[in-house]
Amino acid sequence: MTYRACIFDLDGVITDTAHYHFLAWKALADGLGIPFDEDDNHHLKGVGRMESLDFILARSDRTFDATTRDRLATEKNDHYKTLIKGISPADLLPGIIEAFDWLDARGIRIGLASASKNAPEVIAGLGIADRFHYVADAGAIPRGKPAPDIFLDVANAFGIAPEDAIGVEDAAAGVTAIKAAGMRAVGIGDAAILREADLVLPDTSRLAANGLAVLAAQA
């Protein structure tokens, strides 16, 4: 027996947009005189736009009303959109197409569980929109990661039990969400940060052989 679905995060797993999110938040924080660096950014990976903004604004001694917060979120998103404008298949991280092919060859369904409302544009630019059997709509999911909701939404769309799915994530909040959903997790990145994952790989280059196949053998 193996798992029946593999549910991917997008930013930082399939493509390096995690860095673009950081650059856009950094520019906003700099403009407001709020300190923000790559270490702080680890807390924002997988976290929704408004929650991320609130994390940054909480480090200021000023208060920001709802209108200002909306304007700042739009400003960050407009900047982010300019950064991802030219995104193309060349921006796919190594091993991702091989992972999709490995899953397809075994009839394992492929889902996307990204917190990003820009996900449809990003996967279209990457040329992989048709590789997913289901793409969760971040705007329709009540609770963001680390809540399990978005991963459960994909399992539900596939009509499978959560324990028959695995998730792939680069964010601590994302790994927590996968585990809270009752799925097994492949972490991509630093094992010290992704402690809850069942298996951690430093990058996606050997995702199929060293991640997906290993969990399939354990199932």
**Chain residues that interact with Mg ion, rule: CB under 5 A:** 9, 11-12, 170-171
Smallest distance, ligand BG6 to C-beta of residue 187, A: 14
Whether 65 sits among the annotated catalytic residues: the reply is: no
Smallest distance, ligand BG6 to C-beta of residue 191, A: 19
Which residues lie closer than 8 Å to 86 by C-beta, 6 or more apart?
125
Closer residue to Mg ion in complex, CB, 34/188: 188
- Tell which positions 64-83 bind ligand BG6, by CB under 6 A: 77
Binding piece for ligand BG6, criterion CB under 6 A, among 64-72, 101-109, 112-120, 175-183: 112-120
Residue selected from 5, 99, 118, 186 as contacting ligand BG6 according to rule CB under 6 A: 118
CB atoms within 10 A of CB 139: 7
Whether 130 sits among the annotated catalytic residues: the reply is: no
Q: Using an 8 Å Cβ cutoff, are 146 and 176 in contact?
A: yes
Determine, following the binding rule CB under 6 A, whether residue 47 of this chain makes contact with ligand BG6. yes
Q: Strand order in 109-112's β-sheet?
A: 134-135, 109-112, 5-8, 165-169, 184-188, 199-201
Smallest distance, Mg ion to C-beta of residue 204, A: 12
9, 153, 170, 198: the active-site residue = 9
Burial class (CB in 10 A: 0-12, 13-18, 19+), 19: middle
Determine, following the binding rule CB under 6 A, whether residue 114 of this chain makes contact with ligand BG6. yes
Cis, bond preceding 146 (omega within 30 deg of 0): yes
**CA-to-CA separations, 9 to 35, 49, 72, 75, 136, in angstroms, rounded:** 28, 16, 25, 24, 10
Determine, following the binding rule CB under 6 A, whether residue 15 of this chain makes contact with ligand BG6. no
**Binds 148: which of ligand BG6, Mg ion, none (CB < 5-8 Å by kind):** none
11, 149, 153, 164: the active-site residue = 11
Closer residue to Mg ion in complex, CB, 42/106: 42
Residues labelled as active-site residues: 9, 11
